[in-house]
A = this chain, B = another copy of it.
Amino acid sequence: MILAIDVGGTKMAAGLVSDDGTVAGSRRVATPQGAGAEELWKTLLALVEPFGPADAVGIGCGGPMLWPSGEVSPLNMPGWRGFPLRARLEAMYGEARIHNDAVCVAAAEHWRGAGQGSANMLGMVVSTGVGGGLVLGNRLIDGGTGNAGHIGHVVVEPDGPPCGCGGRGCLEAVARGPALVEWALAQGWKPGAAAPSRDAVPYEEDRAVTGRTLADDARAGDEVALAAFRRAGRALGLAITAATHLCDLDVVTIGGGLSQAGSLLFDPLHETLREHARMEFARRVKVVPAALGQDAGLVGAAALILAADRYA
C-alpha cells in the first residue's frame, strides 16, 4: 500500500493505492487560490495526514517541473515556483517519484485503463488544458527532460490563435474547453438559448459558461455550438494523426472534462483521422475514451512506484 498524490491548480487529491492499482481510499481538497508556497504545502500536509505512514509516495503534479528532481512550478499555482515537492515528500516517506499529471493519467490508462494490453499508447487529457503522455514499447517515455507527451502543443492551425505557451495555433489553443467557449461566444453563441440547463434554470449572465453548457446546446442543435465541437474534434484528429505517424501507436485514450462531450467531439475527430491517416499502419490506431475516472491521476502516480519497470 503506497500513498499517491495528485496536485493541480483546482484541487489536490491523495489516496492509498494497493499493488493491483486499486484506490483503497482517497480525499480531495480545493487548492487554495492565491496562496503562498508554505500555505499550499500545509494544505497538502493536512490532506495526507489522515493516511498515516506509507512505504513510498507517487506524485502527479501540473507542469512545468524540473524532472526527475521534482522542483515544481505549476502554471496554475503561482505560489509554487521551483518548489521542492518531491524532496519534501521524500524526506517524509523515504521514497518519492514524480511526473507531470497528464503523464500520470496516461500511465494509469496503460496500466489499469483503456490502454491495457497495448504496447504503444498515447494517453490524452482534454480539459482546461490539453496534455498527454506516451507509452512506447511498453515503457513510459520521458524524453530528455521528462516533458514527452505534450501533444497540446502540436500545431494544428499554423496561423491560428495564440497559445498560453507563447506559440500560435497549438492544439491546446483550439481544443481546450475555455477555447471552445471563447470561440463560440465570438461567433455569436448565446449560452443556454438552445438547451436550458438540465434543472431547467435558464442561463444567467453570472453563471459560469463551460464546455458542458456548450455541449448541452450542441446536443440541442445549436449550429455554433456544433461547429465549436467540430473545430475542436478536427484539431484533435490532426494532432493524433501527427502522433500516430511519428510513434506508430496502437491506442489513443482521451479523458478529461471535455471528452465527456462524447460523439460531439469524437465524430469529427474520427472523420479527420480517416481523412489524414491513410497508410495501413496509421489507420489501425484506435481512439477510445479513457476508462478511469477522477482517480486516474492517483492510479498513475502510484504506478510510478508499483509498476516501476514500465513507468519509472
Binding site for B on A (CB under 8 A): 64, 118-120, 134, 136-137, 139, 141-158, 165-170, 234, 238-239, 241-243, 245-250, 275-282, 284
- Which residues of chain B come closer than 8 Å to A168, judged between CB atoms? 275-276
Complexed CA–CA distance, A207 and B234 (Å): 43
Known: A158-B157, A275-B167, A279-B166. A145 touches B242 (CB 8 A): no
Known: A136-B136, A275-B168, A276-B168. A248 touches B158 (CB 8 A): no
Residue of B146, B155, B239, B248 near A238 (CB, 8 A) is B155
Known: A143-B136, A144-B250, A250-B144. A245 touches B154 (CB 8 A): yes
Complexed CA–CA distance, A246 and B106 (Å): 13
Is the pair B248, A153 in contact by a Cβ cutoff of 8 Å?
no
Residue of B134, B139, B150 near A279 (CB, 8 A) is B150
A89 CB to closest chain B CB (Å) equals 23
Known: A143-B247, A248-B146, A275-B168. A282 touches B137 (CB 8 A): no
Complexed CA–CA distance, A275 and B152 (Å): 16
Known: A144-B120, A279-B64. A246 touches B242 (CB 8 A): yes
Known: A143-B120, A158-B157, A241-B153. A247 touches B134 (CB 8 A): yes
Is the pair A276, B144 in contact by a Cβ cutoff of 8 Å?
no
A72 CB to closest chain B CB (Å) equals 14
Is the pair B151, A278 in contact by a Cβ cutoff of 8 Å?
no
Is the pair A281, B145 in contact by a Cβ cutoff of 8 Å?
yes
